[in-house]
Every structure is written in C-alpha cells, then in structure tokens.
Amino acid sequence: MVHIQRREVFCAAHRLYNDALSAQENEELFGKCSWEFGHGHNFEVWVTVKGEVNPKTGFVMNLSDLKALMMRFVIDPLDHRHLNLDDTFMKGILPSTENLAIEIWNQLCEPVAEFGSLLHCVRVVETENNAVEYFGA
C-alpha cells in the first residue's frame, strides 16, 4: 500500500458564527473570527490517496486525475467564495477548518473510489500554524 499526496490552494472568506448563539456568545467563542463581514485565508488542501501500485503505470493513481478531481469538486466551487454566503457545498455549515476538511472529504470520497483508489486523508491548512486532518471517521 502506497500513499500519494496532491496539494491545491484556494482563496476564500469565512466567518465563524453560530446562529444559534447570541452575538455576545459568538464574540466570546470566536473572537475576531466572528466579526460581521468575515475574513479571508489562502487555504491549502492536501489530499492523500492510498492504493497498490499499478504495475502497468507505476502509479497508485495518476496525479493528473487527482488534480482534476480536486479542481472540479473542491477548488473551483470554493475559490474566491464567501463560505457563509455563497452557494457552495459549505452553505449552511459553520465553516471551521474542521468542517471544511469533512465536507471536502465528502466531495472527493466517491470520485476517488471511481478511479479504484481509496481516499486516506484530507488536510486543510488555514494558516502557517493551523491545520486540520480528517480520515473519514
């Protein structure tokens, strides 16, 4: 079993704000991340796929195919969007980095499987110092 990784990036705005809480509770919980008009990040998405090496190609999965899936299902939908306001697969979901990793996993799991590979990990890097990894459970 071999793991391969591909990185793509997107720029997006988000606001950490739970509508079920008061404005003051949101401010206490999320600080400046709760401010009204949101703020932006250059998000990195690292996708790890695992499988056996195909003796014909020497690949687990062609990285150009993985790139195409990431662009179609993740980067193109999210790039230059506001994750709280725009109509993307994040709409209605509190757009924490944790929830982004889970929803990106949900976007990619089946498409990767259709190539005969297994999605292993989605890693979302929000800042130089903060990142989240999701392994599907």
Which of 8, 27, 33, 82 is labelled catalytic?
A: 33
What residues contact 134, with CB distance under 8 A and at least 6 apart?
A: 98, 101, 102, 104, 105, 121, 122, 123
3 catalytically annotated: no
Please list, in sequence order, all residues whose beta carbon lies within 8 angstroms of the beta carbon of residue 93, skipping any fewer than 6 positions away: 99, 103
Of the residues 8, 27, 44, 126, which is catalytic? 126
Is the separation of the CB atoms in 95 and 84 below 8 Å?
yes
Annotated catalytic residue: which of 80, 98, 110, 133?
80
Q: Which residues pair with 118 in a beta bridge?
A: 50
Active site residues per annotation: 33, 80, 126
